[in-house]
Amino acid sequence: MATPSPANLRAFVRNNTRLLPVPDLPEIRLHQADDVMAMMSLAGGELGEEDPGLPFWAFAWAGGLAVSHYLLEHPDDVAGRRVVDIASGSGLCAIVALKSGAAWAHAVDIDPLSEAAVALNARANGVRIGFSRQDLLGAEPPECDVILAGDVCYEETMAARMLDWLRLAASRGTRVLVGDPGRRYLPPGMSPLASYRVRTSHELEDAEMKDAAVYTFPGGG
């Protein structure tokens, strides 16, 4: 089955989510789902997938929440800078970067429903976000000043590819901020820039509140 048109995907997101404030970030609103399993099944049907993945785009994940809190505390990290939000999901990190004064923000995610959610969430928050659905992890890191990566260490192969790519970007002078709540494939020995207790839900995690930190790599600006 062909991927539905962008307009149909946006209609799907609009019709199956509620526009709600992000917990503890009331100034940001996202199109969010209540029930992860129900949304997984609905989204799989929409995309014609027999074995759908989690609907990451319909929730704010703990890693992205940590990046968001960090940017609100440290807007100078992105103010006037060109920002890429890799593995954007809902686009939360890109939205917060723009609200913190980023010159522009571009979201990247391989899920077509992320593209639809980012478009709707950008509009709901009064910002403009570019989008790429290409898998950039096999390509050269993009020309930008800051890369935000919220919650990217949950799956072994993806985390390994992502971290190699982020390290390469940092070695070339890009500031890299990774938000993570202690997922299994977060490399050992990374020291946090800042830690937050973020509000999530039993739908997604084993607790309502999670400790999540923001990390960087040496070399980045």
Positions touching ligand SAM (CB under 6 A) are 56-57, 60-61, 63-64, 86-90, 92-93, 108-111, 114, 135, 137, 150-152, 154, 158
Q: Rounded distance, CA 10 to CA 117, Å?
A: 7
User: Residue number with the shortest CB distance to ligand SAM?
Assistant: 64
Locate the DSSP E strands across 87-141.
Answer: 104-108, 130-132
> How many CB atoms sit inside 10 A of residue 194's CB?
16
> How many CB atoms sit inside 10 A of residue 2's CB?
6
The helix-helix angle for 36-47 and 6-16 (nearest 10°) equals 160
23: its two tokens: 């917990």
C-beta of 116: minimal distance to ligand SAM in Å?
12
117 or 170, CB closer to ligand SAM? 117
Q: Rounded distance, CA 40 to CA 167, Å?
A: 32
C-beta of 76: minimal distance to ligand SAM in Å?
22
Q: Which helix (H) or strand (E) holds 39?
A: helix 36-47
C-beta of 155: minimal distance to ligand SAM in Å?
8
33 or 152, CB closer to ligand SAM? 152
74 or 161, CB closer to ligand SAM? 161
- HSE of 143 in the Cβ direction (CA atoms, 13 Å)? 0
Q: Rounded distance, CA 21 to CA 146, Å?
A: 25
**What 3-state class would DSSP assign to 50?**
coil
104 or 185, CB closer to ligand SAM? 185
Q: Which helix (H) or strand (E) holds 37?
A: helix 36-47
56 or 215, CB closer to ligand SAM? 56
C-beta of 11: minimal distance to ligand SAM in Å?
20
72 or 158, CB closer to ligand SAM? 158
C-beta of 93: minimal distance to ligand SAM in Å?
6
C-beta of 95: minimal distance to ligand SAM in Å?
11
